[in-house]
Amino acid sequence: MLLGRREFMTVVGAGVCHTAVGNIFAAGKDSPEKPNIILCMADDQGWGDMAYNGHPVLKTPNFDDMAAVALRFDRFYAAAPVCSPTRGSVMTGRHPNRFGCFSWGNTLRPQEITIAEALKTAGYTTGHFGKWHLGSVCKGSPVNPGASGFDEWLSAPNFFDNDPILSREGTAVQTRGESSMVTVDAAIEFIRKHAGSPQPFLAVVWFGSPHVPHQAIERDRELYSDYSEDLRNFYGEIAGMDRAFGKLRKELRTLGIHKNTILWYCSDNGGLPKVGATGGRRHKGTIYEGGLRVPAILEWPARVPDHRITDIPCNTSDIYPTILEIVGQRMKKQPPLDGISLVSLIDAKMNSRPKPMGFWDYAIRGIGTPSRKLMAELLAEQKAGREITDPSRLRLDAGKLEKHYPEDVFPGHAAWLDWPWKLHRIHNKKGAVRFSLYNLTDDPQEEKDLIAEHSKRFQSMKSELEKWQKSVVRSLNGKDYL
């Protein structure tokens, strides 16, 4: 069955259309004290790719400055080891396998409730800037940023480099400049426009750096002239992102809105092999610590007046429920969440994470989304007076629920993190399943399997993990939408 976002709203909302999405939700209280919200995300920056986390070479003065005065997360996890799924977790508060966003290039489902839609019902103006990678950025797509709750957007279908062609609400625009600065300048234009409005705003600012191919501008490459060409470009992309982020942060102060603006920064997965620095074993693409642990900082002077560092495990899936609690918004027909609200952590009242977190690489390959090629084609078509109409480009099948996934078979690599214990479950292509159990406090590199010494703990965590996986597959099969 194919359920577009409009049709889904009719099913669950007694006939409301997408433009009236708020009718199916409980309204939040209108309050001038609601904070502005800016959610920033890097593309492929590992936990160790920050000077403040001890990188011996990188210079990240703007990130360092924020980390020194704000709430710094030292054990923050991406919900997935690659980009699109983690972005989906930010949008929904749910593990991405619940809506079939298994890997890079997979989309949201139109049936999902996004953070942009939720905040619109709370009176927010919403904007998306930079990398999207959760669907098309063409007009007519059920999973472009506009169809996913964003009022304004200048977005790319995937990572992008300097002088990118981006999509402004479906119209291709040739931009000029270093990629991170282009992204921030678009966000600043939106912020300036809405800073004096009685409506608060949500700005999602998703950089295209430091994803390969690394193409730093000369100004940023020069900072690392003693290193190889690959490292000069990789480090230089992070330098460019740091400078752009500093400009964004400075603008909030210039506008006088920084005190009651939540500025939340993280990355979408662990570090890159060869050039990146991770926070544990392995790297991007794996659900060992190095593939999941990312840098994260939250600044909100009105509520977090003093610098703090927390090592309580947190997750990108926590962003959605945290923001909704902050703005006082509860959603009717809310599908099950995997994230938890971090409000008590923000208020320095959380001593430990009250709920384990699950990870699951379903072992389905991603879908190629070459941003440069796709956007050049869109620009050419529009110059000729035409639009992209190919259903596969528009991702018109994003809401289709035809495949049934078995609810008692869990292929791929999954993990259950109940700090400090982490259980891995690997179901290979031949159907064999093997487990390993690590204590991350004593063994952050996940090298010493402790199942034999902790058999009761293993059995308990195995049961919890597989119960969670069954719940995820039920969601995957569309049972949350009934």
Q: DSSP labels for 219-269? A: HHHGGGTTS-HHHHHHHHHHHHHHHHHHHHHHHHHHTT-STTEEEEEEESS
The predicted model gives 321-333 an average pLDDT of: 96
Report the C-alpha gap between 136 and 105 in whole angstroms.
10
* Residue pLDDT, tens place only, 280-304: 778 898 999 999 999 999 999 999 9
| Torsion sign over Cα 149, 153, 156, 160 | negative
* Residue pLDDT, tens place only, 89-115: 999 999 999 999 999 999 999 999 999
The predicted model gives 45-68 an average pLDDT of: 97
The confidence score (pLDDT) of residue 180 equals: 98
Phi, psi dihedrals of residue 466, rounded to the nearest 5°: -70, -30
- Contact present, 67 and 311 (Cβ < 8 Å): no
Residue 293 host element (H or E): strand 293-299
The confidence score (pLDDT) of residue 421 equals: 98
User: What's 74's DSSP letter?
Assistant: E
Listed range (18-27, 152-161, 177-186) with the worst mean pLDDT: 18-27
| Interacting residues of 239 by C-beta distance below 8 A, sequence separation 6+ | 58, 59, 60, 216, 220, 223, 224
Report the C-alpha gap between 132 and 155 in whole angstroms.
6
Half-sphere exposure (Cβ direction) of 266: Cα atoms closer than 13 Å: 30
What own/partner pairs with CB < 8 Å and gap ≥ 24 does 245-250 have? 245/40, 245/62, 245/63, 245/180, 245/184, 246/61, 246/62, 246/65, 247/181, 247/184, 247/188, 248/38, 248/40, 248/184, 248/187, 248/188, 248/205, 249/62, 249/66, 249/299
Confidence band for 430, pLDDT divided at 50, 70 and 90: confident
The confidence score (pLDDT) of residue 1 equals: 36
Q: Which residues of 321-331 are buried (b: 16+ CB within 10 A; e: fewer)?
A: bbbbbbbebeb
- Contact present, 353 and 312 (Cβ < 8 Å): yes
Confidence band for 130, pLDDT divided at 50, 70 and 90: very high
* DSSP 3-state of 137: coil
The confidence score (pLDDT) of residue 323 equals: 98
* Residue pLDDT, tens place only, 454-480: 999 999 999 999 999 999 999 999 999
Structural domains present in the chain: 27-361 (3.40.720.10), 412-481 (3.30.1120)
Question: In the predicted model, is pLDDT for residue 8 greater than 70?
Answer: no
